[in-house]
Amino acid sequence: MKRSSSKTILTTHVGSLPRPDGTDRAGNEDDAALRAMVAGVVAQQRETGIDVINEGEYAKGGDWLSYVDSRFGGFEARPPEGGTPVILQGKDREEFADFYRYATQRGTLFYEPAGQIKQARPHWVAVAPVTYRGAAALKREIELFRGAVGPDTEAFITSTAPASLEPYRRNEYYKTQEEFIFAIAEAMRTEYQTIIEAGFILQVDDAWLPALWDRVGMQMGLDQFRKYCEVRIEALNHALRGLPEDRIRYHLCWGSWHGPHAFDIELDKLVDLMLRVRAQGYLIEAANARHEHEYAVWDHVKLPDGKILIPGLISHATDGIEHPELVAQRIRRFAKRVGVENVIAGADCGFGGRTHPQIAWAKLKALVQGAELASKSGL
């Protein structure tokens, strides 16, 4: 993984980028149309000045969870069992019920292009051994990107952590939930390994791990919730065993929907667990109003030698375009605490389907301009 220097602060993002029409779900494009879209988003990232790029998650249909549905064996789709789905639970939803009723009536928490069709996310039940059967889809995803990016660009492909796949999947096959999560991990190992062997950086997305705090964690208490998280990080590390850490980055966030997030668990409660993940780079939220202050965590937490911090310095949580000098100030905060060579400027979370394309690309341009300002200042 390339590193920044005092003369050049590198930039990247989290993965999901707006499609040309502003939607976040794939249509029925044939390979030629999808290939053209991938080539276009690669070119736009280069034109914007982003250093470490991806294919916008276009081949995944813009969904970091549902894309896996067709890549697993051992599950059958069923309606969720009684009660409120986990996505609709939580202390935030209780405390700000009027806001969420309003959002539900509008049909979205995000920017919503006209005519976009909403679909309920399916729930899956394991009724046989969990297997990975997504080799063909993954090969297509890799080949589409390889054809656009070339061999000389630092590039990443996203995948999903076992802990974030678990909430929409129920176990009726394995003896314990721990066996179940390790089975998901072992299946996903195929995807992780294939991405790295294809020459790309693997980014593992794990928004659900901390986002479960106000849904199930608060009732558990902090100690029990941390134990819950430890098992899931052990499962992820099981899937990453033997893979080169310098080709892996881990994205931890709090779900990042446009809600209050008043009950997010604080980074300092989980940062030591995050740093156990067998990865070189760690992407965290650091630009939105709920988490920007957490740069101070690094006053008392040492980033391990050889690791890279990729804080979000622009956020999809507002349509205001961050001033480049604000981005530069945020870069300096982190560089002062962990060392400039250990910082890459990133984004809080994905922009696809959440932010109007003009806004998203303006924010990414501000990220690049802020990195340039920080570099010119000598930090």
Question: Partners of 251 in the beta sheet?
Answer: 205, 283
Integer CA distances (angstroms), 90 to 11, 66, 95, 97, in order = 34, 22, 9, 10
371 in Cβ contact with 340 (< 8 Å): no
Domains of the chain: 31-377 (3.20.20.210)
pLDDT above 80 (res 118): no
- C-alpha to C-alpha distance for 323 and 314, rounded to whole angstroms: 10
| Token couple for 334 | 């982190």
Task: Give the tens place of pLDDT for each residue, 43-71.
Answer: 999 999 999 999 999 999 878 888 999 99
Task: Give the tens place of pLDDT for each residue, 89-110.
Answer: 788 888 888 877 877 777 666 6
Task: Look at residues 228, 276, 270 and name the one whose alpha carbon lies nearest to residue 250.
Answer: 276
- C-alpha to C-alpha distance for 195 and 141, rounded to whole angstroms: 10
Q: Are strands 72-78 and 123-132 parallel, antiparallel or unpaired?
A: antiparallel
80 in Cβ contact with 124 (< 8 Å): no
Residue 28: its pLDDT value, please?
61
CA atoms within 13 A on the CB side of 365: 10
Residue with the bigger pLDDT between 226 and 27: it is 226
What are phi and psi for residue 159, nearest 5 degrees?
-145, -175
User: Whole-number mean pLDDT of the chain?
Assistant: 92
3-state secondary structure of 124: strand
Residue 114: its pLDDT value, please?
47
159 in Cβ contact with 203 (< 8 Å): yes
